[in-house]
Chains A and B, each alone.
Chain A
């Protein structure tokens, strides 16, 4: 859809589209021309659209369905300096069975930890189907030498990470060194091997929606499997309009190349109400092809308990206090 005169990616198969991508990224100038040829984003209009969708009223059966879907899309996250193997094991237990007293609650999509906790998480989760995601590339700032970043990724993959959440070099992006960012993503993707690559744009530092759209395309062209809003360490983290712009980007990218890319808003999504707004946004922007944990994730920690509380309320008609839900 969004292909412009300077965007000759019309091919449909994966290998061919990648060839197209590498043509676009063959020089700094051609990459810049492509990214700056993308249609602009009008800030007022994008925010108004997101605000309108946020007024959707999701009730009864739709709400029950949305709550379970949201639970199944969570990357249950702990990214603290004080994380311990014990804490990670506890989180894994919760990921597999979010409510110990109710086996009908689906498990979450993945656990998201620092690389040094990957082995612990992998062992705890076993064959449950819950995946292990690890942040890497000098998360959250991305300020390290290239070989250090790749070693970071390599360690996480070696320990069994199924998914790598890398951060882009925002300094390079903001100063217009797009090729550098592109090459870095390509290198990280290669280091990932079979692991899926999520590319964190840190939209709170990119500031404008035009930048968000360009960074989204850059990450997709370089081979990212997912584009992710934020590290959660920078405010603002995920917002509805930013996610809207990223969803439009993955929609247009699939139209142009045939390859589907996932989206993960992360940080600041704490309530069921928020989560449902994101699901509405997905539903009405890219449709049901993305309403699946393989294509849409929430990076969150406290969201899960709120979803469980709402689920319990819907089942019983009563709210249970926070004491009735496990801390992690």
Chain B
């Protein structure tokens, strides 16, 4: 008489949101209409419901934003004592915490990620990063830049759609803490939490122009990056756009930070803690629908543990809950856009035509919106495109290895190098691997973990 335990819908309420039908550009501390741009709509990827209309900043609008940031830098922000900058950041951090539920609901609505993740991961981290950098503001002499480091001036920042508010925090918090002012462009599919953040800047009485948020697509981003009065360009997104930015900023005085794609290897040895390794594989590639730069999209399993790990992985995947991002029990939300879904489908199709075996989680996909079931490809070789190209979706490529040397060789055989994971109960092997893996972060018996006090990046 075993019982079936179905979970009744448990949706987080949208009532907390005060969404406006239309948003302007946040320039000089106010929301204003675009001069030479139009408007575009942002939709919920789970339902294709139009959430709001936002302004598209044209070249003149970008210029106005940079001018506002320059004025705020010259007249206010660069003259402020460091501890005063810190006070503003602390204030913003506290408001972010107070309005956490509102931000989480809006993030899930606009991005499609499960509310469990926006509520338990994204938004708490956003506040944590602001608190962390607030603390640095008056301690920069001890930050490793030498005595009395100077700000650069105006930072032009372009962020992606996978962790909209978290990427904003990684860009804005350190820039303001170190005395710069910013013009930030959120991704065109996920502008809403950045606009809510603009309201939080107003609520915190941040001096006008210190933070400017301009919405728009690629052209807006290009105008910002190429603007002559921007001192620092920070970009997180695709490798292709990153290369364009590198070319356009070459030969200028602009400082540039680029954070691009990944194809991380998650390496499981036969002596791994298997149940936790399976969890780590799931979190590595299916967290945030795989829309993670440092996703563990290549699983390298030692041959002797292959059956055990794959059986465990498939069993675990069958318990994942795909559906309404606002349902508190959802594990897998929507793909962020039709465009991204098309790319995932294309590469999954390539995987099949290349001869890899496809296994997808059996589940009903909602009729509306953009959805892709968690998928595993086995029998993948290094020569397959799905082992080389970043898919940026819930698709895992499984390869095998026999020796630690072979694991390192395969893991490093990629132009990417954001992260890697090692699963083994043998401490010496973790250190041996970490020294040889060409990756910015190597996680040991976990995947992925972020925090302001660690150097890891998504």
Contact = CB atoms under 8 A, between A and B. Distances in A.
A60 B8 contact: yes
Nearest to B331: A52
B413 to A, nearest CB: 28
A320 B455 CA distance: 52
Contacts of B446: 42, 44-45
A82 interface: no
Given A57-B10, A62-B7, A41 B120 contact: no
A298 B193 CA distance: 44
Interface string B5-35: 1111110000000000000000000000000
B279 A58 contact: no
A29 to B, nearest CB: 20
Given A1-B312, A59-B8, A62-B8, A46 B276 contact: yes
Contacts of A290: 2
A55 B5 contact: no
Interface string A228-241: 00000000000000
Given A41-B275, A49-B279, A1 B5 contact: no
B276 A45 contact: yes
Interface stretch (A88-96, A164-172, A194-202, A281-289): A281-289
Given A42-B276, A56-B329, A62-B7, A1 B2 contact: no
A283 B4 CA distance: 8
A155 interface: no
A196 B165 CA distance: 55
B3 A56 contact: no
The secondary structure that dominates the B interface is loop
Contact of B279 (A48, A61, A295): A48
Contacts of B279: 45, 48-49
B273 A42 contact: yes
A248 B259 CA distance: 39
Contacts of A280: 5
B2 A61 contact: no
Interface centre among A39, A66, A284, by most chain B C-beta atoms within 10 angstroms, is A39
Nearest to A58: B7
Please classify how large the interface on chain A is, using the bins under 10, 10 to 19, 20 to 34, 35 or more.
35 or more
Contact of B445 (A45, A288, A291): A45
Contacts of B10: 57-59
A65 B5 CA distance: 8
A119 B18 CA distance: 66
Contacts of A48: 279
A59 B12 CA distance: 12
A291 B3 CA distance: 6
Interface in A253-287: 279-280, 283-284
A290 B425 CA distance: 30
A162 B281 CA distance: 43
Contacts of B5: 62, 65-66, 69, 279-280, 283, 288, 291
A2 interface: yes
A180 interface: no
B362 interface: no
Given A40-B425, A46-B275, A56 B445 contact: no
Nearest to A282: B5
Interface string A30-74: 000000000111101110110010011111111101100100000
Contacts of A65: 3, 5
B67 interface: no
Interface centre among B1, B3, B8, by most chain A C-beta atoms within 10 angstroms, is B3
Contact of A289 (B2, B116, B280, B328): B2
Contacts of B382: none
Nearest to B116: A55
B319 interface: yes
A116 interface: no
Interface centre among B120, B274, B275, B328, by most chain A C-beta atoms within 10 angstroms, is B275
B311 interface: yes
B403 interface: no
Interface string A285-309: 0001111100100000000000000
B274 A2 contact: yes
B273 A56 contact: no
B248 interface: no
Contacts of B6: 62
A40 to B, nearest CB: 4
A41 B273 contact: yes
A2 B6 CA distance: 28
A278 B120 CA distance: 21
A277 to B, nearest CB: 13
B276 A292 contact: no
B7 A56 contact: yes
Contact of B273 (A45, A55, A59, A63): A45
B358 to A, nearest CB: 23
A1 B2 CA distance: 23
Interface in B277-295: 279-280
Interface in B229-277: 271-276
Given A49-B276, A61-B8, 8 more contacts: A1-B308, A1-B312, A45-B275, A46-B275, A56-B329, A63-B8, A283-B5, A295-B2
List of 9 A-B pairs having minimum Cβ-Cβ separation, nearest first: A45-B276, A57-B10, A57-B328, A42-B276, A42-B273, A39-B274, A62-B8, A283-B5, A291-B3
30 contacts: A1-B308, A1-B311, A39-B273, A39-B274, A40-B272, A40-B425, A41-B273, A41-B276, A42-B446, A44-B445, A45-B276, A45-B279, A45-B445, A49-B275, A49-B279, A52-B116, A56-B329, A57-B7, A57-B328, A58-B7, A62-B8, A63-B8, A65-B5, A69-B3, A284-B319, A288-B2, A288-B4, A288-B5, A292-B1, A292-B2
